[in-house]
Structure 1
């Protein structure tokens, strides 16, 4: 992605250098080079393994876990691929892809990963990484089935200019179409399954000319929507929406970690959204 502050050449160089972080990490891991790996994690980094439901915080603890793996007699190797790199700012990037582990003669296991890397005086470092099993849906419609509860009409509980939302499946069910309307604005969102990245993604277009892209991740019972948006004036906004499903007829949504051109913004209060009763004919 090209940022307003970057020339195309700069953006290409940054994309390449970010990809090199993962390549260098895999090479260092396969060489059991713990010293090199330690320099590639930020001091307060975090690692989340969704399959094991484990969160590890801090470089020291992450490296302690890696040292345990290195002490095992089995020959353990990493391999993988990068699906996408998105420059959030000149010093922050988001990476998604797949990572596999082969252990001696066992069949390799494959996980999907998403990472945030930050650039500082020591170069690019991993700030956070999440790993989750690779889903194997039979179709795009099957991949979106966990979001079927969103289908219908909704309205948020705010008193000023409430937003009405309508969600319905596209023909064939490969996409969900979500339209949001208030007196002041209107937006259209397309939610679909990216078979290459193996994740749910969405594309949003707003009436003021702004537009954005998000990746949807599962975090326990919540959905995390990591977004990058081009505002109407050309600035870049990013943040994470947290959707918490209370029940089939109510959910809350909150925007966290919002930045505009790298500048942190004040967090927003959660908004409650309720299903509107069906209109009888």
Structure 2
């Protein structure tokens, strides 16, 4: 999913006020200042000030070590691109430990929390490790920072998908109409949806949808229950920017075993394409289905 928090967030974060080392050290004050300056510059969207807090050859590495930014010029460009986005977050950090491991060298472990600007958006969190080096001018700068693990809570793990799915949607195909609505449940840990399928030659079918985070398998999972008694379950896997692969298995109200490989591909903020292939009902292959689903236009005067 993700929300790859590093790709731009503050994996370069250093120390927060209140840090403590195993032994008191005069260096801690300098490390604290670097941290405060970093948080202040990030939340002011000052990319130049952020880049200045890195060493000349400082680097930022993401969770998969596939996206590495090296050098102040590229680091500044990276943060500038982040800040130009309308959903650039504000950040805060929790520091677990800081260790002075050699002359003019420190290692910090902690967690960075990023909160988007929208009232309904949820924070995401990433554990990180940062290496800091003291320069000849006495200032501590970031030599390297690396993501360790996505530590978002359940809502945070769903944040990217929720942002894209929330709202009312509709689709029509060969006489079939779907009306779908998604939002957070009361706990704030699950996305819930209601889907109504109507056709001229069949009775309406209402399906309840619940999407959650499985912390044991580190995956997004969904459950679907129709009002006839059928149900299904599947895992969501991000395969590309804006595209999800969903492997679903279930049973109909008549006891027939079902399965399908589905993809959901977002096309901007107001549409997605839903493909269902390799559809089987009791072992018999069914026709593939593709539907373009669009966001419903709010009624005049709706809030």
Q: TM-score, normalised by structure 1?
A: 0.50
- 1:260 deviation in Å? 1.9
Larger radius of gyration: 2
- 2:177 maps to which residue? 162
> What's the CA shift string for 1:226-253, capped at 9, x where partnerless?
0001111111111111101111000010
Residues 239 and 134 of structure 1, relative CA distance in 2, 3 Å threshold? farther
Match of 1:248 among 269, 276, 280: 269
Q: Choose the corresponding residue for 1:206, options 226, 249, 267.
A: 226
Task: Name the CA distance, whole Å, in 1 between partners of 2:277 and 2:174.
Answer: 22
1:272 equivalenced with 2:276 (yes/no):
no
CA, structure 1 residues 198+276, in 2 after alignment: closer, same or farther (shift >3 Å)?
same
Partners of 1:137 and 1:249 lie apart in 2 by 29
- Structure 2 unpaired stretches of 5+: 1-63, 67-146, 199-203
Q: Is the 1:235–1:261 Cα contact (8 Å) retained in structure 2? A: yes
Distance 1:135 1:154 in 2: 34
Q: Check the 8 A contact 1:157/1:274 in 2, yes or no.
A: no
Q: Note the aligned Cα RMSD (angstroms).
A: 2.2
Q: Secondary structure at the match of 1:185?
A: strand
**Per-residue Cα deviation, 1:185-234 (whole angstroms, up to 9, x for no partner):** 11000000011111000110002211010100011131111000111111
What aligned pairs does 1:188-207 form with structure 2 within 5 A after superposition? 188-207=208-227
| Conservation of the 8 A alpha-carbon contact between 1:135 and 1:198 | no
Q: CA separation in 1, counterparts of 2:166 and 2:159?
A: 10
The aligned runs of 1:61-140 (5 Å cut-off) are 136-140=150-154
Which residue in 1 is equivalent to 2:160?
146
| Residue 282 (structure 2) aligned to one of 261, 267, 270 | 261
> Which one of 162, 168, 171 corresponds to residue 186 of structure 2?
171
Would the alpha carbon gap of residues 207 and 156 (structure 1) be closer, same or farther in structure 2, given more than 3 Å must change? same
Relative to structure 1, the CA distance from residue 134 to residue 186 in structure 2 (aligned partners, 3 Å threshold; closer, same or farther) is farther
Secondary structure at the aligned position of 2:155 is classed as helix
Cα distance in structure 2, aligned partners of 1:232 and 1:134: 45
Quickly say closer, same or farther: Cα 1:140–1:233, change in 2 above 3 A. same
How far apart, in 2, do the equivalents of 1:160 and 1:210 lie? 22
| Matched positions, count | 151
User: Residues 88-140 of structure 1, C-alpha deviation per residue, up to 9 Å, x if partnerless?
Assistant: xxxxxxxxxxxxxxxxxxxxxxxxxxxxxxxxxxxxxxxxxxxxx99624200
Aligned counterpart, 2:11: none
Cα distance in 2 for residues equivalent to 1:195 and 1:171: 20
The question of whether the paired residues in 2 share the 8 Å contact of 1:134 and 1:198 is answered with: no
Structure (1 or 2) with the greater helix fraction: 1
Aligned match of 1:223: 244
* Structure 1: stretches of 5+ with no match in the other structure: 1-50, 54-132
How far apart, in 1, do the equivalents of 2:191 and 2:152 lie? 17
Please give the alpha-carbon distance, in whole angstroms, between the structure 1 residues aligned to 2:229 and 2:148. Answer: 35
**Runs of 4+, deviation exceeding 4 Å:** none
